[in-house]
Amino acid sequence: MVSRPLAVLAALGLLAGCAAARPNPARTAPGPSREVLPNGVVLIVHEHRASDVVALQLWVKVGGRDEAPDEVGLTHYLEHMLFKGTPTRPTGSIDAMVEGLGGRSNAYTSYDYTHYDLVLPAQHLAAGVALLADIAVNASLEQADLDAERQVVFEEMRLTEDSPDRYLLRRLYELAYEPHPYGRPILGSPELIRGLTREQLRAFYRKHYVPARMVLVIVGAVEPAAARQAALDTFGRLQGPASPRPEVPPPAPLAGRRQLDLPRPEQQAYLGMV
């Protein structure tokens, strides 16, 4: 799944939207707190008691901009794979667990970050944080799951090609940013995805999914001290290199005009401009 609007604001909106249905006694809660754990994980906690749920979000500082030319599409592919399973969570068990707790999960990829989120009943805070920490570094990346997901990614590519709006946006990025990484397709190319190996995907995972590139956000009806302890017990124990994320080069200035006319079978004309 590719980028959508910032989920932190969406989560806050979701929680606030429940207030009318389930009013709680007025209580002044402190604003969000931010802390950097000793291993580099950034922890943001906000107590928000509009309803008895908690939104857990893992932001990983890796996106399309971090891919080498022969890695285009790997960030998005990993996003598809992380909820598949870990050595202690067999394939299918993660979805069953989240649904069994009455929650939901989601994820998406952008050029600048990859995002994973859970919304759960507040009493399952610790279980949700432990799950995110587990998939952050222990994803199994089983060959059978990788092969099955390849077909899903191919279908996403076909949907992009079939949608005039999506197709126009992708080509607009390519034209405006070429040869910058922001001009590459988030989904990759059929050729790269067809030839993707488990070893290549695992190497990319180990390189980028390290504590120093992770931000854990906890928002909901939880005590900040309990949220912090849940993070320390899980994310606080993760290990990995503290190598800084390379800076992305600035896009080249648009000198003059770039224009591309693309004939398609639709009966309407679509125009994109930057």
Catalytic residue numbers, as ranges: 79
In 26-103, which ranges are E strands?
33-36, 42-47, 53-60
CA distances from 148 to 81, 194, 219, 228 (A): 10, 12, 34, 37
Residues in CB range of 103: below 8 A, 6 or more apart: 118, 119, 120, 121, 124, 128
List the structure tokens of 146: 């990788």
Which residue stretches of 85-142 are H helix?
Answer: 93-100, 125-138
Token pair in block for residue 205: 């995972």
The burial of 248, by beta-carbon neighbours within 10 Å (0-12 exposed, 13-18 middle, 19 or more buried), is given as middle
Q: For 86, phi and psi rounded to 5 degrees? A: -135, 175
